[in-house]
Amino acid sequence: MTRKVPGIKQSEIDKVIRGPKVKAAMMNKAVKVQDYWKSVSPVFDPTDPKEHRKNPEHGAAGDYRDSIVVEVGKDAQGPFVKVKTTDFKRFWIEFGTKTMPKRAPRLKTLARFAKRGST
Amino acid sequence: MSPSPITPVDPPNDSPEYDVEDIVIAYLAGFGLVPDGHVAARIPENMVLPWVLVTRVAGGDDWIVDYATVQVDSFHGDQTAASTLARAVHHQMRQMRPQLTVELPSGRQAKIYRYATHQTPIYVPWEPEGGGLIMSRYVGVYELDVRLPSIPGY
């Protein structure tokens, strides 16, 4: 006689993890992260006389903010969602340059959602 | 007479809170990695290389701990020298162990609760448009949790 092992089977856990509820929760969180990241992103104002970026201009106003997207994918460990920016100015805005103050919107977003404190 | 732009100015002794930038500057200045006054929170007009720039870029606090994200830029005349300086800075930053006490120029002492490297130093151009490259920069990002001064009730 085989004794039945109590508890939840791994296959049942896997089934729930790959199910629609978890996917919906992941998307919900990703959209929150995306919204916050956009809210702390700088937007170029061509009418501002102090704005250095108009000489020369680097794309249209809001390009960086609008490039922040939620990517849905799947890899060897299963499905994932990723919030990312693809704008070419992302390193300049994040870390600053001679003419652009460091804004660090990505780090601000991480600090907000990394649960280190009540940021 | 106003102080020279590269002379570090002590925070007022009666400041009720710590500035994490001041803590990192006071900590790094003690190792002699760069000449006196060349670790600062701003870049002056007449900057002389090498230079280490400390900037708080993110993080909030609660009633007890300040959760700071700090960016440390290491500037030097060429990429190799900037990298070497950035590694020296990083080597000291990695030793900010929990319970480490840092003495500020004002004589106050700040205690580190937690340290984590968010980004080991990477090369990020300071003048992305080119046009007369005068210095190279490496950027490291660190998470520092610092015990805040006590407030009544906590």
Pair of tokens at residue B66: 């300040």
Cβ separation of B127 and A97 shorter than 8 Å?
yes
Complex-level ipTM:
0.80
Residue B59 has pLDDT above 80, yes or no: yes
Give the closest residue to A93 by CA, choosing from A29, A20, A44, A57. A44
Domain boundaries, position A104: 10-53+63-113
In a domain, B8, yes or no: no
The number of folded domains in chain A is 1
Q: What is the pLDDT of residue A18?
A: 81
* Residues A38 and A65: beta-carbon distance below 8 Å: yes
Instruction: For strands B109-123 and B136-147, give the pairing.
Output: antiparallel
CA distance A53 to chain B (A): 12
Instruction: For strands B51-58 and B39-40, give the pairing.
Output: parallel
Closest residue on chain A to B115 (Cα): A116
Residue B12 has pLDDT above 80, yes or no: no
Residue B131 has pLDDT above 50, yes or no: no
Pair of tokens at residue B93: 């930053």
Residue A2 has pLDDT above 80, yes or no: no
**Is some CB atom of chain A closer than 8 A to the CB atom of B110?**
no
Per the model's pLDDT, the better-predicted residue between B15 and A94 turns out to be A94
Question: Using CA atoms, how far apart are residues B38 and B17, in angstroms rounded to an integer?
Answer: 24
Domain boundaries, position B69: 20-147
The number of folded domains in chain B is 1
> Residue range B105-124: average pLDDT?
90
pLDDT in tens, A13-36: 888 888 889 889 999 999 999 999
Residue B112 has pLDDT above 80, yes or no: yes
Give the closest residue to A41 by CA, choosing from A98, A4, A83, A99. A83
Question: Using CA atoms, how far apart are residues B80 and B112, in angstroms rounded to an integer?
Answer: 31
**Is some CB atom of chain A closer than 8 A to the CB atom of B154?**
no
* CATH number of the domain encompassing residue B142: 3.30.2000.30
pLDDT in tens, A59-108: 788 889 999 999 998 888 878 899 999 998 898 899 998 888 889 999 99
In a domain, B49, yes or no: yes
Closest residue on chain B to A103 (Cα): B57
Q: What is the pLDDT of residue B1?
A: 46
Cβ separation of A111 and B141 shorter than 8 Å?
no
In a domain, B12, yes or no: no
In a domain, A118, yes or no: no
CA distance B69 to chain A (A): 7
Cβ separation of B127 and A95 shorter than 8 Å?
no
